[in-house]
Structure 1
Amino acid sequence: MSKPEVPRSPEPPRLTKRATTVPPFDIQDIPAAMRKEMMPVGAKLMDRWFAGELNYSRSEDDQKNEINQDGKPYPDSMYDHGIIKMKWVLGFRRAREQYEDLVNERIYSSKAASAVRQIVARYTSFGRMYLSAWGICRHDIRILHKDFQFQYVTVDGTFEQKAKTALRQSTAHAPDDLTAALGSFVINAAISEIEYDFQKRIGVIEKIVVYVKDSYSFQGELDTTSQYLGHWSRRGVAISAATELANLAGSPWIDFPVVIGPIQTLSNPGKVYYPIRNRDFRQWQRKHNRGGDFIVYSDFNTIRLQRPIVVHF
């Protein structure tokens, strides 16, 4: 007689390995991450951009002329006069060096003299011995910039300057607050006062103002050559040297997130750093119908020249 078969216990269900998912990243987390990276000014400017009404230019020419997507001049709300301070800007060595080059050398160049001559000649019909540019402009720096600006220098604007900054940032693994706030920008010189001698037909400039004007925008291509802004997470930023150099050369580059730490931390939102480009902000604008490109003016330094600028008219 055969023994009855002992029933087998059911096999436990196989455990399926859950796929590790990469958590999504919201670019609105960047200002908080900037503050963690000691970039408070950059964070203020980006907060302003997110809070602003929809405003952007459709082309580089429109951006230069401050014309928005509707073909209209930027509204007054798209001009900021309070966040950027010259004292803060000049605390960065590369900005200080360009500033000193401007006030000690560039304002005396032949190009600057030609621009000053045109401005001086424009106001001879007033018949005044003394002309206050601020008075003419009703103390509006936007008008002063348009009518009396005569020279400028760039900071991080040339390929050489950008390459040096990119190398420094890749070594430090993060940009400084100046780069986060302004990227490449311009320091301007404008006439503050003109003294006329109508007998000698000369104009004398003894006082100028120096200030920063910059466009805070995310203009550019929407492909992989779009301006690279770093790899960001909620905790901060990391710079990919290869991506940065490809961007400088205008070469396309495949974007991918990077993990700081062991691969097991892939599901941790703070450990995954995402490549961010200008196009990400443009896409955010389209999705939310908000986000305002705006013009930044710093306060200004008034300088009395030890060597006045003299031009004939």
Structure 2
Amino acid sequence: MNHGENFSYYKIDKLFWRWKKQDGARMVREVSLSTDNEPPPLPAPPDAKSKAVPSLPRSPKPDPTVKMINDLLKVAESVSRFRTWLNTPVPPKPPKAAKVAAPKKTVPPFDIQEIPNALRKEMMPIGATLMERWFAGRLNYSAIPSDEFQEINQEGKPYPPDMYDTTTIKMDWVLKFARARRKYDYLINDAIRSPAALQVLHNKLRFYKHRSELSTHDICRDDPQHLHQFFQFQRVEVDGTFAEKIKLQLMADAVRTGVPDDLTAALGSFVIYAAIAHVRLSRDPFGTQKTTAEVTGAWIYVKDNFTFTDELGQRSQYLGHWSSNGVIVMPLDGIAAASRYIPYVESPVTLGDPVIKGQVYYPIHNSDFRQWAIRHQRGGDFIIYSDRRFVPLFPPIVLYL
């Protein structure tokens, strides 16, 4: 890349799923990302039902005599209009209109709500679905990261029930991605038997030591929040966020293979959790008052926050340059990787004729979504729970309570 008119950029090579370097991007002045489009309509309340419009009564059949008189009047009126037309002089021809100059070609706007469709073009359909849910939601966000961790919104209240998604993300889909499968295998084969996990299990199970059996399905039913709050005992982190993966590319001299994919777009940096599923408990027959707990099964699931929250005092995260055709990354060479600021081109760029829709790419940040939310008073940050996978434990995890 040089620092003249033309810039190098990276786009996703979908054949090998890696960043591919190309040349020819040019800056475009005096254009900006649009946030003008109205948000999607809010979902109607479930009990709101449209009332049927009563049908109008049929008109009575006209009287035959009245109909005949009306028909004769219509004929007379037609004859009168014909005579008037015959007696009207031919109007003079109007002067030739001056040629109007062709309108100046302009750059078609790109609205932030077009990003979900661009995600689909980059083979990220689940990420697109979740972003569309965010745009369609009512205003809900956490003012600071600590509030986000506690699921407290801008009004200082817990996230409302409609800000929890428990149906979109499936564990079978998550585990199709090799990096998620590796962390899942580590979780169920090693991490759940670590000393730290055993200590958490002991602290949670001591309240149930007088039982003979514990089934969290019977206790929590289908409430993932209840299960997570009271019975989660181990976790593993997976991957990095969309912004973090782009940052790696911006700091690199060589093409990296860590390209954002649908798992990145949907979940970013997320966590796979293990929670207690089933436990057998028995009292020591020798009178030591000890209870043996055998954990025979665990629930495995994903929990993640779909938000656009930035760290306090930090520059808003760069999410790439976007158009209706997809995403590219615009690095700036010659800036040290240790720089506090991520080196990327701040301006929109075009890869061809800027008046053609999709040829201009705009830099997108977390702050763009937050500004859209404030402007339209919409945009709901929400919590994702995947479905749960039951994993039998052989041998069981044995503890003495």
Q: What TM-score range do you get, normalising by the shorter chain?
A: 0.7 to 0.9
Post-superposition shift, 1:251?
A: 2.4
Code of the aligned partner of 1:237: V
After TM superposition, the structure 1 stretch with the greater mean CA deviation from structure 2, 221-230 or 187-196, is: 221-230
Given the alignment of the two structures, is residue 64 of structure 1 paired with residue 141 of structure 2, yes or no?
no
Percent identity, aligned pairs only?
49
Hey, what does 1:177 align to over in structure 2?
A: 262
Hey, what does 1:279 align to over in structure 2?
A: 367
Hey, what does 2:307 align to over in structure 1?
A: 217
Post-superposition shift, 1:223?
A: 7.6
Query: CA deviation digits over 1:92-125, x for unaligned, max 9?
Result: 111111111111111111111111111111223x
Given the alignment of the two structures, is residue 260 of structure 1 paired with residue 345 of structure 2, yes or no?
no
Given the alignment of the two structures, is residue 292 of structure 1 paired with residue 380 of structure 2, yes or no?
yes
2:147 and 2:306 map into 1 onto residues whose CA distance is 14
Post-superposition shift, 1:224?
A: 7.2
Post-superposition shift, 1:249?
A: 7.2
Unpaired stretches in structure 2, ≥5 consecutive residues: 1-100, 285-289
Distance 1:63 1:173, change over 3 A: closer
After TM superposition, the structure 1 stretch with the greater mean CA deviation from structure 2, 129-138 or 216-225, is: 216-225
Code of the aligned partner of 1:113: L
TM-score by length of 1: 0.83
1:148 and 1:248 map into 2 onto residues whose CA distance is 42
Given the alignment of the two structures, is residue 130 of structure 1 paired with residue 216 of structure 2, yes or no?
no
Decide whether the 8 Å contact of 1:208 with 1:304 is kept in 2: yes
Given the alignment of the two structures, is residue 206 of structure 1 paired with residue 296 of structure 2, yes or no?
yes
Max radius of gyration: which structure?
Answer: 2
Decide whether the 8 Å contact of 1:186 with 1:214 is kept in 2: yes
State the number of aligned residues. Answer: 287
Code of the aligned partner of 1:255: E
Distance 1:266 1:223, change over 3 A: farther
Given the alignment of the two structures, is residue 147 of structure 1 paired with residue 230 of structure 2, yes or no?
yes
TM-score by length of 2: 0.66
1:248 and 1:307 map into 2 onto residues whose CA distance is 48
Please state whether the residue corresponding to 1:62 is helix, strand or coil: helix
2:336 and 2:136 map into 1 onto residues whose CA distance is 32
Hey, what does 2:98 align to over in structure 1?
A: none
Unpaired stretches in structure 1, ≥5 consecutive residues: 1-14
- The ranges of structure 1 where at least 4 consecutive aligned residues each deviate by more than 6 angstroms after the TM superposition are 245-249
Post-superposition shift, 1:202?
A: 2.0
Post-superposition shift, 1:289?
A: 0.2
Decide whether the 8 Å contact of 1:174 with 1:237 is kept in 2: no
Alignment of 1:161-200 (within 5 A): 166-167=248-249, 171=256, 175-199=260-284, 200=290
Code of the aligned partner of 1:211: Y
1:111 and 1:221 map into 2 onto residues whose CA distance is 29
Query: CA deviation digits over 1:134-160, x for unaligned, max 9?
Result: 2222331110001000001111159xx
Distance 1:73 1:309, change over 3 A: same
Distance 1:252 1:221, change over 3 A: farther
After TM superposition, the structure 1 stretch with the greater mean CA deviation from structure 2, 46-55 or 300-309, is: 300-309
2:234 and 2:380 map into 1 onto residues whose CA distance is 28
1:39 and 1:47 map into 2 onto residues whose CA distance is 13
Please state whether the residue corresponding to 2:386 is helix, strand or coil: strand
2:371 and 2:342 map into 1 onto residues whose CA distance is 19
Hey, what does 1:307 align to over in structure 2?
A: 395
Hey, what does 2:5 align to over in structure 1?
A: none
1:247 and 1:212 map into 2 onto residues whose CA distance is 33
2:131 and 2:377 map into 1 onto residues whose CA distance is 16
Given the alignment of the two structures, is residue 52 of structure 1 paired with residue 137 of structure 2, yes or no?
yes
Root-mean-square deviation (CA), in Å? 2.9
Please state whether the residue corresponding to 1:115 is helix, strand or coil: helix
Please state whether the residue corresponding to 2:354 is helix, strand or coil: helix
- Richer in helix (by share): 1
Hey, what does 1:11 align to over in structure 2?
A: none
1:166 and 1:195 map into 2 onto residues whose CA distance is 47
